[in-house]
Structure 1
Amino acid sequence: MQLWSITGNSQRLDGGAMFGNAPRALWSRWIAPDAQNRIPLACRCLLVKDLDGRNVLFEAGIGAFFEPALRERYGVVEDRHVLLDSLAAAGLSHEDIDAVVLSHLHFDHAGGLLAAWEEGQPPRLLFPNATYVVGAEHWRRAQQPHPRDRASFIPELQALLADSGRLELVEGAYAKTLGDAVRFSYSDGHTPGLMLAEVAGVVFCADLIPGRFWVHLPITMGYDRYPEALIDEKRAFLDDKLARGIELFFTHDHDCALARVARDDKGRYGTADELRELAGMVRA
């Protein structure tokens, strides 16, 4: 297998929202905000080439589906579909992808499934040869979102996925499409049914741990549904990955794709052996 970090469209979002109840005096030492208090965020995907002969993309980023006014509101930097360019740099097109695994269906993780916005054109799915792999519990949440996170979902997306005939809803640790090569676990602190994929010694942290600085246990996002539960989930998650030597893949860290879990002499979690990108890393 080959592992690639695939960049999608980037964002600039309010630092206070991204760091929850952590004060600006703390988080601004990690990521410097701009004049509007926004910090840079990646929407990074993991591409695994030759996973049992298939090309599998873990997440799709935010994409370019927003109309210009909404693109500005949500801080999307580029107007083109950057994910497609990044796939091309790895030697693939969206038509070459056999499966897209989605941790959840919030727009900054699933919007890249859609073609770039064009005036007067309805939303259209990309990846015509891929199976879309989604956790069943989160799918149910997406059908009836709570007012707290309704704006995080793309209204047309669920119907497009269902109508494609290529949607697999996963209930347990494994998907039929991927067999035992990819193992799933679940988290509810950010959103009910968040699906965390582990493959080739790497785990896609999604929004349980968006980047290096959220490895610290008390640090959560203002977007998280259940912050106290998320902290408990994060502790168990990190203990497990540290014990088994599983590396962390970050979707939103603007400057780090992969890192190893570390723990200091006071028991605080951190990261080590950080890599900014993956470009064909070979794993058995």
Structure 2
Amino acid sequence: MDKWSIGNITLTWLDGGVTHMDGGAMFGVVPKPLWEKKYPVNEKNQIELRTEPILLQGLGGKNILIESGIGSGKLSDKQRRNYGVTEESAIVKSLEKEGLTTKDIDIVIMTHMHFDHACGLTEWQNDKLVSVFENAVIYTSEIEWEELKKPNVRSKNTYWRENWEPIEQQVKTFKEEISPVEGIRMVHTGGHSNGHSVVEITVDGKEKIYHLGDLMPTHAHHNPLWVLAYDDYPMTSIFEKEKWIKPDTWYFFYHDSIYRAVKWDAKGEYLERVPRSPKM
């Protein structure tokens, strides 16, 4: 598993599975000759998107998880085929390598609750769906939580009751922003979904690093105008990316198959990069 230590914190990417989604949908109106220069695509026009939860340690003595993975045993054969799922989650094994179990997770931060982020929150046990991280407080925005429970005609394809009913008593919501523990701030942005949020982490009490969720799912989405066809509110995504993407600042990713973290300069050129290991 990949680890990245910066200041007083350590990020560990767990084995949460992998999807392969249509490249055109992932880059919206951006022409393929442009985006394929920045991110590899296969013969089916799919790009590899990891779904790897990030274990954050070093703040308040808590074991904090950002996102939850694609889950295991939750998808039908048709869903696995449609979403290009070639690996499902192996979170238990990943945590064992860190000397932890799912019971040791104190906080789960969810930028949003689309299936590829939220399926790992629950699992089947003896024909019953139960919470995976039974002792954790799970944070997501109030807007996201309400739409998850009452999806509209568009969002019902990604907001599944299997991913919220078993965890309902563990969830804590917020309106504009919240600090689950000192050093972490979740801020509601909208854009990708109406309730989407970003995560700001303060390192050593001063430096800020960011997880922008699916506003910037990979390093190739650094351009504020490169937004997803999956975004419910693309203009909001653009405005929020303009606000949150800053030079000489670290950004890390849940979906990226190439880099764990990247820092750009004011012209969009790489200053520093943390590559993803070829094999987990």
- 2-side partners of 1:94 and 1:88: how far apart? 9
**Against the structure 1 CA distance between its residues 272 and 93, is the aligned structure 2 distance closer, same or farther, given a 3 Å change threshold?**
farther
Mapping 1:188-227, distance limit 5 Å: 188-199=190-201, 200=203, 201-227=208-234
Mapping 1:40-59, distance limit 5 Å: 40-59=48-67
Where do 4+ consecutive residues of structure 1 move more than 4 Å?
Answer: none
Is 1:273 the counterpart of 2:277? The answer is no
- Name the SS for the 1:138 alignment partner: helix
Partner of 1:233: 240
- 2-side partners of 1:247 and 1:52: how far apart? 21
- Name the SS for the 1:156 alignment partner: helix
- 2-side partners of 1:136 and 1:85: how far apart? 32
Is 1:255 the counterpart of 2:264? The answer is no
Q: 2:25·2:228 contact (CA, 8 Å) conserved in 1?
A: yes
**Structure 1 residue 277 displacement after superposition:** 4.7
Correspondent of 2:175 among 171, 176, 192: 171
* Coordinate RMSD, CA, aligned: 2.1
- 2-side partners of 1:173 and 1:156: how far apart? 26
Mapping 1:94-109, distance limit 5 Å: 94-109=102-117
- 2-side partners of 1:113 and 1:159: how far apart? 10
Q: Which runs of 5+ in 2 are unaligned?
A: 1-8
Mapping 1:77-226, distance limit 5 Å: 77-79=86-88, 81-115=89-123, 121-162=127-168, 165-175=169-179, 178-199=180-201, 200=203, 201-226=208-233
Partner of 2:81: 72
**Structure 1 residue 276 displacement after superposition:** 2.2
**Structure 1 residue 247 displacement after superposition:** 1.4
- 1-side partners of 2:48 and 2:135: how far apart? 32
TM-score (normalised: structure 1): 0.85
Q: 2:60·2:181 contact (CA, 8 Å) conserved in 1?
A: no
**Structure 1 residue 270 displacement after superposition:** 4.8
**Structure 1 residue 52 displacement after superposition:** 0.7
- Name the SS for the 1:54 alignment partner: coil
User: Which amino acid in 2 is paired with 1:194?
Assistant: H
- 2-side partners of 1:202 and 1:84: how far apart? 27
**Structure 1 residue 157 displacement after superposition:** 2.2
- 2-side partners of 1:172 and 1:272: how far apart? 32
User: Which amino acid in 2 is paired with 1:83?
Assistant: I
- Name the SS for the 1:274 alignment partner: strand
Residue identity over aligned pairs, in percent, reads 27
| Cα deviation code 1:68-90 (max 9, x no counterpart) | 332222111114x2233332333
- 2-side partners of 1:101 and 1:275: how far apart? 22
- Name the SS for the 2:263 alignment partner: strand
Correspondent of 1:61 among 49, 65, 69: 69
| Cα deviation code 1:89-121 (max 9, x no counterpart) | 333221211111111110111111122x68x82
Q: Which runs of 5+ in 1 are unaligned?
A: 279-284
**Structure 1 residue 272 displacement after superposition:** 3.0
- Name the SS for the 2:164 alignment partner: helix
- 1-side partners of 2:223 and 2:15: how far apart? 24
User: Which amino acid in 2 is paired with 1:102?
Assistant: M
TM-score (normalised: structure 2): 0.86
**Structure 1 residue 32 displacement after superposition:** 2.7
- 2-side partners of 1:192 and 1:23: how far apart? 26
**Structure 1 residue 123 displacement after superposition:** 2.8
- 1-side partners of 2:146 and 2:236: how far apart? 20
**Against the structure 1 CA distance between its residues 83 and 272, is the aligned structure 2 distance closer, same or farther, given a 3 Å change threshold?**
farther
Of the two structures, which has the highest relative contact order with CA contacts closer than 8 Å and spacing of 6 or more?
Answer: 1
